[in-house]
Amino acid sequence: MGSLSKTVQELALQGEEVPENFLYKDGHGGSADVPVMDVPVVDIGLLGTSAEELEKLKSALSTFGCFQGINHGMSLEYLNQVREITKQFFHLPLEEKQKYLREENDIEGYGNDMVLSDQQKIDWNDRLYLVIYPEDQRKLKLWPENPKLFRSTIHEYSVKIQSISEVILKAMARSLKLEENCFVEQCGKRSKLYGRFNFYPRCPRPGLSLGIKPHADGTAITLLLQDETVEGLQFLINHQWFRAPIIPEALLINVGDQVEILSNGAFKSPLHKVLTNSERERISLAVFYTPDSDKEIGPFEELMDESRPRLYRTVKNYVNIYFQYYQLGRRPMEASKIQD
Ligand code: OGA
Ligand code: NI
């Protein structure tokens, strides 16, 4: 795995020049002029008691593969603090950020798009990628000491996101009439949370470049804290792109490939991408709830019968499969999908 010699942030400072390997010549850079996604807003606090809210969750995950989660127990003020330290980190001088540089053959650390092949288009995005939970899996040497509140804030955030994830995974199971712990148990006691702090500098060539190319997440579920004012994320629903709206106090929660497999396709892992913006920079924090790499992930028996045949093969260490396929420009899900 290689990496670029320059961060996107440095390239952005050079002015109009955008290197060729960022540019999509075929009109695939995307357009901001698409309809807004009518994505359901789910009150997470009601999922334990309201059958109606549970049905809303189920319907959102089977049609959109995502929902806006509110009433998750974190205040807007606290979420803004998390956003603020993310911004502060990327605004530090380059030499400071480079203390946490991703090393060759590692995915954790500060850096930009991994260059896996010569033909690959590169994303207009710098990121800091860290295991944030459980505590004993953290590589603290890659955790910024600056801004001063980074470590304590992200520690607290990771504990909260872990517990919110479990609430959601349990509700998802109940909504499918499954035993409530089945998703959590399949992910295993050694499931991890990865935090991907994203920074999208202003880009002089919007429409010709992408912040993140179209992909589905390789996770069980992803919990995204979007920028509080700058849009950019889009989802592909029934072959059409839609803008993800911003609700500042919400987490945008989406299904990843491994829950699509476990649910035998009842829940969809949606394709999504991020546009670039010439006017304003954007940040986000995606947290990836990732099953233990030793666990076998295949559809639950209860979700397969004559009318619902098995749609996916069982996979193990999906994150590895994910990168192999991604490198070839293929959708990682192909490794599991049984072709009809
Ligand atoms: C991701 C992702 C979306 C965003 O990091 O996988 O899809 O809005 N991020 O930054
Ligand atoms: Ni994603």
Structural domains of the chain, with CATH: 47-336 (2.60.120.330)
Distance CA 57, CA 167 (A): 12
Q: Which residues contact 86 (CB under 8 A, 6 or more apart)?
A: 197, 199, 283, 285
> pLDDT of 274-328, one tens digit each?
999 999 999 999 999 999 999 999 999 999 999 999 999 999 999 999 988 887 7
Provide block-wise average pLDDT over 10 residues at a time, the chain (340 residues).
Answer: 72 84 83 95 98 98 98 98 98 96 90 80 95 98 98 98 98 98 97 98 92 96 98 96 98 98 98 96 98 97 96 95 83 87
**What is the pLDDT, as a whole number, of residue 14?**
80
Report pLDDT for 214: 93
For helices 150-175 and 51-63, the axis angle rounded to 10 degrees is: 100
How far is it, in rounded angstroms, from Cα 186 to Cα 300? Answer: 10
Can you give the pLDDT at residue 1?
45
Report the candidate in 306, 313, 307 with the shortest Cα–Cα distance to residue 260.
313
Burial of 301 by CB count in 10 Å (0-12 exposed, 13-18 middle, 19+ buried)? exposed
Find out whether 254 and 66 touch, Cβ atoms under 8 Å. Answer: yes
The pLDDT assigned to 3 comes to 53
First to last CA, the chain: 34
Decide: 44 and 167 in contact? Cβ < 8 Å.
Answer: yes
pLDDT digits (tens, 9 = 90+) for 176-209: 999 999 999 999 999 999 999 999 999 998 889 9
Q: Which residue's C-alpha comes closest to atom 9 of ligand 1?
A: 286
Which atom of ligand 1 is found nearest the CA of 127? 5
Number of residues written out for the chain = 340
CA of 127, nearest ligand number: 1
Predicted confidence at residue 5, as pLDDT, reads: 65
Ligand 1, residue 196: give the atom nearest the CA.
Answer: 5
Report the run of H or E that residue 224 belongs to, with start and end: strand 221-226
Contact (Cβ atoms closer than 8 angstroms) between residue 85 and residue 145: no
Pairing of strands 66-70, 192-200: unpaired
Residue 30 confidence (pLDDT) = 85
Q: Report which bound ligand comes closest to the CA of 233.
A: 1
Query: In angstroms, what is the span from residue 273 Cα to ligand 1's centroid?
Result: 7
Of all protein residues, the one whose alpha carbon is nearest to atom 10 of ligand 1 is 284
> Is the CB–ligand 1 distance for residue 274 below 6 Å?
yes
